[in-house]
Structure 1
Amino acid sequence: MLPKVFFFVFASFLPLRVFAGPLKARASFTVNVGQEGFTYSPNSVDASVGDTIDFVFPGAIPHTVSSSADFNQPCVLSTKSNATNLQTPLGGGTVSLTVAVDGSQWFYCATPGHCQSGMVFAINPGPAGSPTSIENFVSLAEGRSISTSASTRTSTESKSLPSSTVVGAHSTAAAAATAGSTSDASRLFSIEGRTLGTALGAAILFSFVV
């Protein structure tokens, strides 16, 4: 007699769900290096992680795309381990850079004299008129002072800050204390305006009337 063989098949009748978010298209930018003098054209781009920047080198004059130490040191090479230092290919050509981090990134041409002529580049600089704008970065590279709307606004506000006056006068408590009374001896002065609404940096003038 043959043994009976039983086969058990387990099946899930639950619907299979596949989660797939939309894939974001990666952007690509082209930057001409030194084809219009000591400049990158354009000298800044707004890019996201994963985007590609193609630097086109003409080859006639050597140029670089080197990471700056920081915004305030445009012409100093960064010592960070992930610093960029792209060189002109032999005979010219295109070198691609993939954006790996978020935020602002600062670059310059390390060929002597080029950065000091304003040859700098930025990924995601601040907007025009802000302290970290590409215009200010160029000015710092050229050794010029920078001015920002933020500093101008602060200076203007400091000139118009209000002042408040608090008037203090001897109260009857002083006389009571002099007369030997101790009930009001702890209150030697009365002050008009015990609370003030004022701005940071405003002057408060205490005027004492004897």
Structure 2
Amino acid sequence: MMNFLSTALLFSSLPLIHAQYGNSAKSSTTTAASSTTSTTSAAGGVHTINVGEDGLTFNPASLTVASGDKVEFHFFPPEHSVVQASFANPCQPISSGGFFSGFFTTSGESKTVFTLTVNNTDPIWYYCGIPGHCQAGMVGVINPPSSGQDTLDSFKSAAAKAQGSTVPANVFGGVVGNASSGNSSSAATGTSTSSPSKTSAATATATNAANTMRTAGDVGALVLLGLFSWLMM
């Protein structure tokens, strides 16, 4: 009689064992799945133009960016600037709006940059305001026209014939400050998601844990069943 009660007591604990293992497995799987939903949004792309790194040049001299992107002008020795012009009048500040970086004098790459936010995809023609630099071909364009006669080569040819250069009185139209940590010559997507490899690893770990728990529960049931059979002999 005592053996029968002991066996019955053991069997009555089986649902509790199964519930414990089953709930733990489900919780682990849910945690792993929820970790994949976290996302972080960032701003538009950041592009770099090197000013005077290779002589009297902007590199790249022609750059296509999306509306909302930023362009960082990085300055190199000895002294340079960047000024917006119109296509029809190179080496002179544009009559309305535009930007002027001020003059950057440096013995190495400047620790500060001039950052321009591009608000649309209209062509932006610009030049270096140091006397003689514009005429020597130090000009560039952001978002050049896709067709027509307004080309960078035409703008450069017109600049070579320009009579002198002028600049605005003050810095405006952009921000002088430190370079961003993630600038690149091509636009970034601006969106990060949890790493697929980490997500897969977490899901696999949770699944393995669940299988192990279920296996442990099945083994326990078999042991108890064998014990019951032995007691009934």
Given the alignment, which residue of 4, 29, 47 partners 2:65?
A: 47
1:113 paired to 2:132: yes
Question: Any gaps of 5 or more consecutive residues in structure 2?
Answer: 1-40, 163-233
Secondary structure of the corresponding residue to residue 131 of structure 1? coil
**Shift >6 Å, 4+ stretches:** none
- Matched to 1:37, the amino acid is G
Q: Distance in 1 between matches of 2:42 and 2:152?
A: 27
Instruction: Report the structure, 1 or 2, having the larger strand content.
Output: 1
Given the alignment, which residue of 51, 58, 63 partners 2:80?
A: 63
Q: Which residue of 2 aligns with 1:84?
A: 99
Q: Which residue of 1 aligns with 2:119?
A: 100
Secondary structure of the corresponding residue to residue 82 of structure 2? strand
Q: Indicate if the aligned counterparts of 1:45 and 1:124 stay in contact, CA closer than 8 A.
A: yes
Per-residue CA distance 1:85-129 (angstroms, 9 max, x = gap): 0124454232211112331111111110000001111111124x7
Per-residue CA distance 1:38-97 (angstroms, 9 max, x = gap): 110000111122101111101x222111011x10211111231x2200124454232211
Question: Any gaps of 5 or more consecutive residues in structure 1?
Answer: 1-22, 145-210
Aligned residues: 118
Structure ranking higher on relative contact order (CA contacts 8 Å, 6+ apart): 2
- Please report how far the alpha carbon of residue 27 of structure 1 lies from its aligned counterpart in structure 2 after TM superposition: 2.0
- Please report how far the alpha carbon of residue 138 of structure 1 lies from its aligned counterpart in structure 2 after TM superposition: 1.2
Instruction: Report the structure, 1 or 2, having the larger helix content.
Output: 2
Q: Distance in 1 between matches of 2:79 and 2:95?
A: 22
- Please report how far the alpha carbon of residue 25 of structure 1 lies from its aligned counterpart in structure 2 after TM superposition: 6.4
Q: Please report the TM-score for the alignment, with normalisation by the length of structure 2.
A: 0.46
- What do you get for the CA RMSD once the two structures are aligned? 2.2
Give aligned-pair identity as a percent.
32
Q: Indicate if the aligned counterparts of 2:81 and 2:104 stay in contact, CA closer than 8 A.
A: no
